[in-house]
Structure 1
Amino acid sequence: MKEWQKCRNILCIRADNMGDLIMTTPAFRALKETFNCRLTVLTSLAGSLIIDCIPEIDEVIISNLPWVKCVNPLTDIQLQSLIKEIREKEFDGVIIFTVYSQSALPAALFSLLAGIPRRLAYGRENPYELLTDWLPDKEPYSYIQHQVQRDINLVKSIGAYAFKEELSLQYSTRGQTSALKKLEKLGINTAKPWLVFHPGVSEERRSYPFLYWIKIGQLLAHADLPILFTGSSVEIEMTDALSEHAGAHTYSVAGLFTIEEFVALIAVAKAVVSVNTSTIHIAAATQTPSVVLYALTNPQHTPWQSPHTLLTYSVKEIIQSKNEVVRYVSEHNLQKNLPYPSPEKVVNALREILDRPN
């Protein structure tokens, strides 16, 4: 632990998606506050989209690592080039963040080859010289903790503590103004509240039925709350169709906002209804109330320390993960054959969360 106190140039490897990076922000903050260090994050192209909204990060290295699910992973030549780049930056230490179903050892070997002297991660088996510091990974067989807590506990093992442990994202006044102007161009009165509905998923097994989204919108036709169907640019066709059938009080805005504008949009929304994706972690970071349509794939990824209602449903056997750790959790820890929550149940949950005192 004493060796880490001397580290002033730290690399963090979190090579997944936006939501994973957002959940790691308390651990990033702990490192910054404790060690007064320069913090560089190695992440995927998908994860990098949120970097500008995370104030704790000083620099980002964007690479789609071949041991993480991604599009266009690095070739062997590109990986060797990345190792050389990392070596030249002369990091004092590296911290490898993982979910319990991932192995840190590929990233540990990568970091060893890059000449980083201190290397910290969770390990399910003895990593020997691949890691200089490691925590035995007892998840999910002994217990399951929230992903945020898992990351916080990892950096605590080397003496890093944060004064506050909530998620954090930032956005500029310009970003918020720009987002509101885009809404006004659609004819939305931004002086009144609105709802954000986010139906898109990165994994099909997390999806909620298309027709149910439409029904939820229809049930809220007289609520005097505009509904924004959000998503990425590749989801425009879907949100257009949802808005077309859900009613005139709904709007398709997929692909309309930058990430900063999207964060600002959620921050000032009345509430969010979303599947379990990065949107729920943005809502948690901005303390926006949310109703989460939560497929039981990763029970440790619920909204962290924020107002929310969780409506869970099971993943069909035919599309469940082939990862044996994930399958163990599904078989031993999760309720089976849970149906999709009905549109009526979602609307009731939304009304209940809207009626809660601030």
Structure 2
Amino acid sequence: MRAVPAVDLERVQRWRGARRVLLVRLDNLGDVLMTTPAIAAVRESLPEAHLTLLAAPSMKALAPHLPEVDDIVGFHAPWMKVGASALDALATTAPDGPAFPAAADEGLEARSRRGEPERRMLARLMAEGYDAAILFTVCTQSVFPAATMCRLAGIPRVLGHARERAYGLLSDEIPDRDEVRDGMRHEVRRQLDLVAQVGFSTPDERLRFDVLPQDRVAVRRALASAGLRPRQPFVLVHPGASAASRRYPAERFGMAARLLQQALGAAGNSPAGDRPAIVLCGGPGEDELVREALEALGGDALLPYPPAGLGELAALIAEADLLIANNSGPVHLAAAVGTPVVDLYALTNPQHTPWQVPSQVLFHDVPCRFCQKSVCPEQHHACLRGVSPEEVATAAISLMPRRARAGVDELGAAA
């Protein structure tokens, strides 16, 4: 365990008595996965405590795969991008018209409806009787909305990073000195350091995600049906990402896969059954990206049916010898299950690189780096478009298992 500074011993002692702990992480899959080492530190330090993760509703799919927590509660937080977008969508699709009319037209009843999700969540938090809460945020997020909800719920111990003085909103206020810049702390380290302030640590700082046996069986059957031979290695290519600014062009994924396939196929030292196959996969709504990649590849790829859910996607990544993907949820799943990854890393943020897994992080440096935007504000996507398919293929070869790249030292060496 990490040494706790002497000035914090009283704080550590107070937190050792926590028995019902609320862990708040309200953003996307990758962010939650990068928080799992800190969550594991809480679990290992408070083995008798009941841990509840408050997260975006879609994160409830993590429940079977994250045994460190006892419960996952879904909440669309209006102060988070993912929560605000979901609430806007609900407002425009209400069966009896917009749930939240324009402010100028609102009456008392409409204004009351606008805050109903937050009031319901507040009532639930009060009823659950939490005696401690840990608020996990990135350095560009404000801790104060979640801290206010915890205060109103009567939670006595609340830990979080704060850039401005929190006064009574945080019982344990950790000054937030992180800035989006070169050399900043990794997101995983930020959260581990946060819980270390109250004496929580773990000797195993890897990301957590349990792949279930039934998901592995389903994926292996799908791969066999698609044509993968027994024990044949494969490279998984996933061209999707939720944010447009983080997507390497899908056709370049296909071009890189074709170059990789040609280089490995030219290596004559491996039996044909041991040469890696290319498997293409996308998430919901990403069929067009998969089609574009397949066309650029030339059609020589395996297309198992799309994973039925998060568990099967993780199992597919775990079965792969290598993942090639944008910097999004699948990359962090790869880190959690130990699969090497070529990460096409848009320079929107610097602190989200693959954690403790063999990786190659590819980008083209640009003056507009660290823009933190979901859509490229310059409209040139140069931080990704500056990476050639040849660079992607070469990086993939460097990470492939030795048996799969016998006779290939670099791209084109076997030609």
Structure 1 length-normalised TM: 0.90
Partners of 2:391 and 2:311 in 1: how far apart? 31
Stretch deviating more after TM superposition (219-228 or 229-238): 219-228
Partners of 1:181 and 1:338 in 2: how far apart? 35
Aligned pair 1:178/2:204, yes or no? no
Aligned pair 1:226/2:238, yes or no? no
> Residues 32 and 90 from structure 1, CA distance in 2 versus in 1: closer, same or farther, beyond 3 angstroms?
same
Residue aligned with 2:302, SS = strand
Residue aligned with 1:167, SS = coil
Q: 2:74 is matched with which residue: 62, 65, 80?
A: 62
CA contact (8 A) 2:346 2:383 kept: no
Q: Which residue of 1 aligns with 2:159?
A: 120
Stretch deviating more after TM superposition (116-125 or 304-313): 304-313
% identity of equivalent residues: 33
Partners of 1:172 and 1:338 in 2: how far apart? 34
Partners of 1:288 and 1:8 in 2: how far apart? 35
- What is the RMSD of the two structures over their aligned residues, measured on CA atoms? 2.5
Partners of 1:109 and 1:296 in 2: how far apart? 33
Partners of 1:234 and 1:45 in 2: how far apart? 19
Residue aligned with 1:292, SS = strand
Note the 1:194-233 alignment, pairs <5 A.
194-222=234-262, 223=264, 224-233=275-284
Q: Which residue of 2 aligns with 1:101?
A: 140
CA contact (8 A) 2:317 2:339 kept: yes
> Residues 115 and 72 from structure 1, CA distance in 2 versus in 1: closer, same or farther, beyond 3 angstroms?
same
Give the gaps of 5 or more residues in structure 1: 328-335
Aligned pair 1:6/2:46, yes or no? no
Partners of 2:372 and 2:211 in 1: how far apart? 35
> Residues 254 and 97 from structure 1, CA distance in 2 versus in 1: closer, same or farther, beyond 3 angstroms?
farther
Residue aligned with 2:258, SS = helix
Partners of 2:45 and 2:156 in 1: how far apart? 19
Partners of 1:353 and 1:90 in 2: how far apart? 49
Partners of 2:180 and 2:328 in 1: how far apart? 25
Q: 1:63 is matched by which residue type in structure 2?
A: F
Residue aligned with 1:79, SS = helix
Q: CA deviation at 1:186?
A: 1.6
Larger radius of gyration: 2
Partners of 1:292 and 1:58 in 2: how far apart? 32
Q: CA deviation at 1:225?
A: 2.1
Aligned pair 1:130/2:169, yes or no? yes
CA contact (8 A) 1:16 1:46 kept: no
Note the 1:339-358 alignment, pairs <5 A.
340-354=386-400
Q: CA deviation at 1:248?
A: 3.4
CA contact (8 A) 2:349 2:370 kept: no
CA contact (8 A) 2:317 2:334 kept: yes
Note the 1:133-152 alignment, pairs <5 A.
133-140=172-179, 144-152=184-192
> Residues 338 and 258 from structure 1, CA distance in 2 versus in 1: closer, same or farther, beyond 3 angstroms?
closer
Residue aligned with 1:139, SS = coil
Q: Deviations over 1:100-159 (max 9, x none)?
A: 111111110011111211111000010010111011001017961011110001000011
> Residues 11 and 183 from structure 1, CA distance in 2 versus in 1: closer, same or farther, beyond 3 angstroms?
same
Q: Which residue of 2 aligns with 1:77?
A: 116
Q: CA deviation at 1:67?
A: 0.5
Partners of 1:110 and 1:190 in 2: how far apart? 53
Give the gaps of 5 or more residues in structure 2: 1-10, 91-113, 265-274, 405-415
Partners of 1:303 and 1:319 in 2: how far apart? 17
Q: Which residue of 1 aligns with 2:5?
A: none
Stretch deviating more after TM superposition (192-201 or 182-191): 182-191
> Residues 204 and 322 from structure 1, CA distance in 2 versus in 1: closer, same or farther, beyond 3 angstroms?
closer
Q: 2:178 is matched by which residue type in structure 1?
A: E
Number of matched residues? 347
Aligned pair 1:300/2:351, yes or no? yes
Residue aligned with 2:81, SS = coil
Partners of 1:319 and 1:6 in 2: how far apart? 40
Q: Which residue of 1 aligns with 2:330?
A: 279
Residue aligned with 1:72, SS = helix
Q: Which residue of 2 aligns with 1:35?
A: 46
Q: CA deviation at 1:190?
A: 4.3
Residue aligned with 2:345, SS = strand
Q: Deviations over 1:192-251 (max 9, x none)?
A: 111111111111111111221121122133333222222212112321332244133313
Q: CA deviation at 1:63?
A: 1.1
CA contact (8 A) 2:348 2:369 kept: no
Q: CA deviation at 1:48?
A: 3.0
Structure 2 length-normalised TM: 0.78
CA contact (8 A) 1:295 1:314 kept: no
Q: CA deviation at 1:82?
A: 0.7
Residue aligned with 1:140, SS = coil
Stretch deviating more after TM superposition (244-253 or 262-271): 244-253
CA contact (8 A) 2:335 2:357 kept: yes
